[in-house]
């Protein structure tokens, strides 16, 4: 079973160097207070898209798109995500997955069949329980990082910086912890406010990470590729 919550027909930013569609799946085990898609956290919804509808849409765009991004929510929460990957690949598309890393076994199963992964590292390990609303998840994220690090797959690790919950010192700590793995690309993402965020941070606070030249120069020296987005 695949529970699809949304479909974006065209993106140039979610799959590096590819023109892609994005499929959003319903359900996420995390409860991050800065979540940008809180409506996708629950596993059920009254407003779902049939998987056959997604496949029909993709069939019509074989010559227009390079790939398909599976996002959410948490796409690897879907029991049949492997079937989805197989069907999309059989149509000739490349496949990317955006994941929180909490399902390492499913990640390992699909890695031979996908082309790129974007993995979110939310915080230093010490803050994970607090900022995800779940206990003892770090071992799963660490396993996912190890699986990706040991694979030949291209991937990106990224952290979204909400200044209400993360500090510059936290970013230095994340860098230190990521050095245990082969990380080809590390990205800092600006927190972007949205309508249901009742007490958003100021733009000055959001920008403070990215205006810290010492931090940005440090990260540039630590990873093969460092991006601010």
Please report, for the domain that includes residue 18, its CATH number.
3.20.20.70
What is the DSSP pairing of strand 67-71 with strand 155-161? unpaired
Q: What is the mean pLDDT of residues 77-95?
A: 97
Q: How far apart are the first and last CA of the chain?
A: 34
* Domain housing 50: 4-228
| Percent above pLDDT 70 for the chain | 100
- What is the pLDDT at residue 47? 79
Contacts of 198 (CB under 8 A, 6+ apart): none
Q: State both tokens at 47.
A: 């407003």
Banded pLDDT at 195 (limits 50, 70, 90) = confident
At which residue do the structure tokens 């160097």 appear?
17
Residue 131 CB neighbours (<10 A): 19
To 5 degrees, how large is the angle CA 209–CA 164–CA 182?
50
What percent of the chain is helix, strand and coil (3-state, nearest 5)?
A: 35, 20, 40
- What is the pLDDT at residue 37? 85
Number of structural domains in the chain: 1
In a 10 Å sphere around its CB, with 0-12 CB exposed, 13-18 middle and 19+ buried, how is residue 167 labelled?
middle
Q: State both tokens at 215.
A: 């931090």
Say if residue 50's pLDDT is above 80.
yes
Say if residue 46's pLDDT is above 80.
no
Measured distance CA(193)–CA(23) in Å, rounded: 22
Measured distance CA(226)–CA(228) in Å, rounded: 7
Banded pLDDT at 39 (limits 50, 70, 90) = confident
Measured distance CA(174)–CA(75) in Å, rounded: 24
Q: Judge contact between 6 and 85, C-beta under 8 A.
A: no
User: Which pTM does this prediction carry?
Assistant: 0.95
- What is the pLDDT at residue 80? 97
């Amino acid at each position: 079973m695949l529970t699809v919550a949304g479909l974006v027909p065209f993106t140039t930013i979610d799959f590096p160097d590819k023109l892609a569609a994005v499929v959003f799946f319903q359900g996420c085990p995390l409860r991050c207070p800065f979540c940008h898609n809180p409506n996708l956290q629950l596993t059920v919804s009254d407003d779902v898209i049939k998987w056959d509808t997604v496949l029909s849409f993709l069939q019509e765009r074989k010559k227009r798109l390079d790939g398909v991004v599976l996002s959410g929510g948490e796409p690897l929460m879907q029991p049949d995500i492997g079937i989805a990957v197989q069907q999309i690949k059989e149509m000739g598309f490349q496949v990317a997955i955006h994941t929180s890393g909490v399902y390492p076994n499913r990640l390992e199963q699909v890695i031979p069949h996908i082309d790129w992964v974007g993995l979110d590292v939310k915080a230093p390990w010490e803050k994970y329980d607090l900022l995800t609303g779940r206990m003892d998840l770090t071992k799963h994220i660490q396993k996912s990082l190890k699986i990706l690090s040991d694979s030949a797959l291209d991937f990106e690790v990224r952290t979204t910086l909400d200044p209400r919950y993360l500090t510059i010192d936290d970013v230095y700590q994340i860098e230190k912890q990521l050095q245990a793995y082969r990380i080809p690309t590390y990205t800092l993402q600006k927190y972007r406010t949205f309508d249901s965020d009742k007490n958003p941070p100021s733009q000055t606070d959001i920008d403070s990470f990215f205006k810290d030249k010492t931090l940005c120069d440090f990260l540039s020296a630590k990873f093969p590729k460092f991006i601010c987005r």
